[in-house]
Amino acid sequence: MSEVVLKVENLETGYGEVQILWDVSIEVKRGQLTTIIGSNGSGKTTLLRAITGVIPVWSGRILFEGEDITRVPAYRRTEMGLVMVPEGRMLFPEMTVLENLEMGAYNKRARSRMKESLEFVLELFPRLKERLHQKAGTMSGGEQQMVALGRGLMASPKLLILDEPSLGLAPKLVIEVFEIIKRLREQGITMLLVEQNVHLSLMLTDWAYVMAEGRIVMEGTGAELERSDEVRKAYLGV
């Protein structure tokens, strides 16, 4: 199997006649955590929408495990193992924790592994085991984020995309979410992270890209970017 799970080549896209992304190229390697940082409006969410098939690509291409998926519909990408945990969690509030988790395993490949996936998720999030039959909408923000992450894992992802997982959480819960991301990385789960908490992201990541005005303007290891004067001034308040 190729070391590169996801390869985005010279991607350009936008909305209507407004171009948002310009010649964007990134790679995500198997078993690694890759992070995209950038200020609001830099194009991070648009890039994720293009990768997951929510918006069409104008030019360039997207390869997933060596296969060109540029024109593959979004639902097929999920079946192939490209799974996103969306910003804002997007749970079904009137359904129980268990029902929300089960919704993650709706595709054929994931259904066959549902029992093992559920055991893995509940081992990772013991708090959810105690709340399996509680309605998701009645849980705290941190617990809801655990359900959202768990639902993503239930889909048996080959690549797990995390869109702003710490957004809106109290500082203590932010640390908790990053501890979970660290554990997933240690277990070899391939992840692409878009995150506002630059310092914690760069501490954990294997490779990171900096986006500005719809372009990739810098890349390197987390340690390299954290040492960069440009990144320190723009994102770390140094």
| E-strand stretches of 43-93 | 59-64, 67-68, 82-85
Of the CA atoms within 13 Å of residue 166, those in its CB half-sphere come to 21
Q: Which residue ranges form the domains of the chain, and what is each CATH number?
A: 1-81+158-238 (3.40.50.300), 89-157 (no CATH)
Q: What is the mean pLDDT of residues 107-116?
A: 84
Band of residue 47 on the pLDDT scale cut at 50, 70, 90: very high
pLDDT on residue 169: 84
CA distance 44 to 209: 10
Angle (CA) 109 136 170, round 5°: 110
Specify the pLDDT at position 39: 85
Sheet strands (E) in 141-214: 159-163, 191-194, 207-212
pTM, two decimals, is 0.91
Convert the pLDDT of each residue in 129-146 to its tens digit: 999 999 999 998 888 988
pLDDT (tens digit per residue) in 171-229: 888 898 899 899 999 989 999 999 888 889 999 999 999 999 999 999 999 999 988 98
